[in-house]
Structure 1
Amino acid sequence: MHCGATTIGSERTVRIGAFRRIMAASPSYLERTGTPKTIDDLRGKRLFHYDGAMCDTIWLWKDGKRYRVPSELASLCASTTGPLMGLVLEGKGIVLSTAVFMCYRELRAGRLVPVLPDYKEADKPVSFMLHSERADRSIVKEAIDFLRSKWQEGEGLSSI
């Protein structure tokens, strides 16, 4: 079995890497409305929630305690991040959860800043799924190794 592989029935998943999700807002929005310091401070803010296939209930950790982000308070929910990130970049609110790699350039340029950076979401795994009968083929192993190497050198995939 290839390192980091899990077999379920006739399918095998191989872990390629992981990514981090964060809350983010534009500096102008936070200057106008104040920067939240706790989860409770999110109440009364304009919140945007990505409610797509890659997003589940948002749980964050701080000092060994688990906190649930009140996504039901979101002003707007969308199944794609594009419209939400456009609004956030215009200073209209806070996105409750977005993958760092999706907004890495904006974070680096200072157009977005992490909100509640002391509260951390668990890393989300990225896996390669294949049929177990084909898993031992050399071309499959080469593809997995290639994807892992590209993932590890990718910008914005590690935590901020």
Structure 2
Amino acid sequence: MDRIDSLKAFVAVVSEGSFARAAERLDLSPQLVSKYVSQLEAHLNTRLLNRTTRQVSITEAGSACFQRAQQILADMDDLENQLGELQNTARGVLRISAPVSFAISHLAKPLTEFQAQWPDVCIDLQLNDRKVDIIEEGFDIALRIGRLQSSSLIARRIAPIRLVTCASPDYLKQYGTPQSRAELKDHRYLHYSYATEDTILVPGAGLSGQLNSAFQANNGDVLTQAAINGAGIVVQPTFIAGPAIRQGKLQMILQDSEPEPIGLYAVYAHRQLLSGKVRSFLDFISDYYGDRPYWDDFS
């Protein structure tokens, strides 16, 4: 039994005073309206209407039910209107998970510009380099950097992320500049905890398990600063290492065997029935950085 349809039929019969006029109002047959009301009475185990061949009268239980049914249907209309607005317009709280270093350096400005365009959206930004469970933890969107594995989630590529190998000029002067990735095993390597081997090296380098990871951390800014201070060689995305490279604090090496770029992705749970706030943010952020992001400009 569809309770909402049954309530609508009952309210229409009481309001119109007959099954025939209620049927016209609902654009249904009188037989179906009668069936809905009978199903409601059976479900509630109570008679709501007294029926004769000439008239319909409401019982005491029916009068109580009529008042509550009107309120329930009004609440349903309000709910449908509210959800329709959320679906079709950008409003409400948008919960975003994003990598720490990227968000600190490159996310505040686009989020501010997005809110200027969509002022009814409130941003709840949570920074974390681990892979959050967006459904379990209640996020609308997760921004992720890397090479995405197969997943039930939907991913939209936002920008390429270039990885560069670099060290401070002082370190290279003291320990020499490696001419191939095979020579990295003879140097102090600053390891990013969440990185996988294929993001650090190149196919065929044969260095698995041989790097001297003298320093590891789960934050790229810390590793980059350690490299600036001469602690060793680091592989970092240009959105982190770029400023130090432009200032001459770090020097790029092994550019002929640079790792393949990875990507910045927006990950979300559903392709269909996206809320207005999620759809608007995806459309906005997808074109924001472009195919050559500003952080790759070393001129």
TM-score by length of 2: 0.43
Contact 1:20–1:158 (CA under 8 A) maintained in structure 2: no
CA deviation digits over 1:4-26, x for unaligned, max 9?
xxx954x3211112201121101
Q: Which of 12, 19, 41 pairs up with 2:183?
A: 41
Secondary structure of the 1:17 match is strand
Corresponding residue pairs, total: 146
Larger relative contact order (Cα-Cα within 8 Å, sequence gap ≥ 6): 1
Q: Is 1:30 aligned with 2:145? A: no
RMSD: 2.8
User: Counterpart of 2:197?
Assistant: 57
Contact 1:19–1:99 (CA under 8 A) maintained in structure 2: yes
> For residues 280 and 236 of structure 2, what CA distance do their matches in structure 1 show?
30
Paired residue type of 2:231: K
Contact 1:101–1:156 (CA under 8 A) maintained in structure 2: yes
Contact 1:21–1:121 (CA under 8 A) maintained in structure 2: yes
User: Counterpart of 1:113?
Assistant: 251
1:140 Cα offset (Å): 3.3
1:81 Cα offset (Å): 2.1
In structure 2, stretches of 5+ residues that fail to align are: 1-149
Write the mapping of 1:61-76 to structure 2, written as runs, cut at 5 A.
Answer: 61=202, 66-70=204-208, 72-76=211-215
Secondary structure of the 1:87 match is helix
Secondary structure of the 1:31 match is helix
Q: What is the identity percentage for the equivalent residue pairs of Structure 1 and Structure 2? A: 21
In structure 1, stretches of 5+ residues that fail to align are: 1-6
Secondary structure of the 1:105 match is helix
TM-score by length of 1: 0.75
CA deviation digits over 1:108-139, x for unaligned, max 9?
1111111211112121122112232334x554
Contact 1:18–1:126 (CA under 8 A) maintained in structure 2: yes
Return closer, same or farther for 1:155/1:120 CA change in 2, 3 Å cut-off: same
User: Counterpart of 1:125?
Assistant: 263
Which protein shows a greater Rg? 2
1:158 Cα offset (Å): 7.7
> Which stretches of structure 1, 4 residues or longer, exceed 6 Å deviation after superposition?
none
Q: Is 1:83 aligned with 2:83? A: no
Which structure has greater helix proportion? Answer: 2
